[in-house]
Structure formats: structure tokens, C-alpha cells
Amino acid sequence: DAGVIQSPRHEVTEMGQEVTLRCKPISGHNSLFWYRQTMMRGLELLIYFNNNVPIDDSGMPEDRFSAKMPNASFSTLKIQPSEPRDSAVYFCASRQLQGGSGNTIYFGEGSWLTVV
Amino acid sequence: QKEVEQDPGPLSVPEGAIVSLNCTYSNSAFQYFMWYRQYSRKGPELLMYTYSSGNKEDGRFTAQVDKSSKYISLFIRDSQPSDSATYLCAMSPRTDKLIFGTGTRLQVFP
């Protein structure tokens, strides 16, 4: 079975440019999460969706960050304009809300972003 | 103060050793406790899952939760070089968002 698929795996961009990260959750999962990981702060939840609806975006650092989930199989995280302090690994994760594994969140392999 | 505290390590042990990894937390509402393992340049993967207090064993791994002390542990018996990774604790009051520790880096040398 395909896991959570993220693209791009690596991105190097210049400060001020727009960055779009993409995620395809596991088929049948109806909850999707965006996390950011840095050495200093660890894994931080940015936003999560249930059934394509944003439930909690309190972790989104500022207005430069936005996330969308237009359908059950696709989500984007956009940073505009990007800044060097946005350099981090961005993980997408998904989960099936109901069922015995309701708390098991499956992570993608991450998008490694460097803003220079 | 962070909601979840975890010693970043690194922790270096010889093969065959018993490893103890720990997290403390401040939110008494946490009910769900998990341990994730993250290999270098990979996403975290679920290792152990516990609801409320108690112990859970799975092969060489044992997870313990002490809610009275707000303290959780992961024990690895007969550690192997393949166990070398970063171990992240995670917890939640409900079945929605998880709060992660910063992770403990473990190295098991032959």
C-alpha cells in the first residue's frame, strides 16, 4: 500500500519566493496533518483537517503560511513570501478517524525546505 | 515550560544493553501516549501506543505510563544497531492532535 506521499522531497529557494508543498494522504484516511520539524523546536503541528475541513490552524506561524485541502486526496501548504527561518522539514501525516487504529498517524517522508 | 519534555541525548549504548527513554508532561488531561521512531531523513513511524496508565509490551519494547507522576517510559531490551534512531514521545488528551517531545537520539554500537 502506498503511504503518505509528499512532494517535493527537497526544495532550495531564495528568500521572498513562494513555496508550495504537496501531500497525498493514504487512501481512505479522512484526517490530515501538517507538521514542521526543526532541531530547536522538534515536531510542531501547524494545521489539521478532518474530512477536508480545517479544524485547528493555531500552529500556523503567521499569515505567510496557508494550507488547503480541496479534496480527500490532496493538500497543499504554501509559504508566501518565504524567509530563511522557514527552513525546516515539513511533514504531512494522515489518519483514519474511526476504527481501531484511530490514533495511529502515518507520516510521509517529509519535504526538506531550505530558504537562502 | 513545554507541555512535553524529553531529553535530546544523544544516548550511546553497546549492543545488547537495555535502553530507557523517558518523557515528562504537564497536562493532566493527556490520555493517549505514543512512541514514534524516526530514522535519519525519514518520517516518524509509530512504535508503541498506550491508552491511560499501565504497561504495554511488544517484543523487545515495553512502554510504561505513570499518570500520577506525569511520566512515560520506553524500554528497549537487547538493543541492536538497527535500533539507532531518534525516539519521539507523543501524547494527546483526545483522539485528535498529538503533542510531540523533541526526541531522543539513540545510537547502539556493535
Please report residues of A whose CB lies closer than 8 A to that of B91.
none
- The rounded percent of chain B whose pLDDT value lies above 70 is 98
> Is residue A1 scored above 70 in pLDDT?
no
The answer to whether the beta carbons of residues A57 and A46 sit under 8 Å apart is yes
Q: Does residue A6 carry a pLDDT above 80?
A: yes
Kindly state whether B95 is in contact with chain A, defined as any CB-CB distance less than 8 angstroms: yes
Query: Residue B101 — pLDDT band, cuts 50, 70, 90?
Result: very high
- CB neighbour class for B10 (10 Å; exposed up to 12, middle 13-18, buried from 19): exposed
- DSSP class per residue in B17-79: --EEEEEEE--TT--EEEEEEE-TTS--EEEEEEESSEEEEETTEEEEEETTTTEEEEEESS-
Three cell numbers written together for B21: 527513554
Q: CB neighbours (10 Å) of residue B28?
A: 10
Q: For B35-70, write each residue's pLDDT tens digit.
A: 999 999 999 999 998 888 889 999 999 999 999 999
Q: What is the pLDDT of residues A70-92, one digit of tens each?
A: 999 999 999 999 999 999 999 99
pLDDT at B89 over 90: yes
Q: Which of B32, B96, B100 sits opposite A42 (nearest CB)?
A: B100
- Given a cut of 60, whether residue A13 has pLDDT beyond it is yes
Computed over every residue of chain A, the mean pLDDT equals 92
pLDDT exceeds cutoff 60 at A101: no
B9 touches chain A (CB under 8 A): no
Tell me the HSE value of B85 on the side-chain side, using a 13 A CA sphere.
19
Radius of gyration of chain A (CA): 14
Tell whether the model's pLDDT for residue A62 goes beyond 60.
yes
Nearest CA of chain B to the CA of A42: how many Å? 4
The answer on pLDDT for B1 being more than 80 is no
What span, in angstroms and rounded, lies between the C-alpha atoms of A108 and B109? 28
Q: Which amino acid is at A60?
A: M
Nearest by CB to A103, from B42, B44, B49: name it. Answer: B49
Nearest to B88 by CA among B55, B29, B42, B26: B42
If one counts every other C-beta atom within 10 angstroms of the C-beta of residue A77, the result is 23
> Per residue in A33-42, pLDDT tens?
999 999 888 8
| A 59-88: CB under 8 A from B | none
Count of C-beta atoms within a 10 Å radius of residue B76: 22
CA–CA distance, B12 with B109 (Å, rounded to integer):
7
Residue A100 has pLDDT above 60, yes or no: no
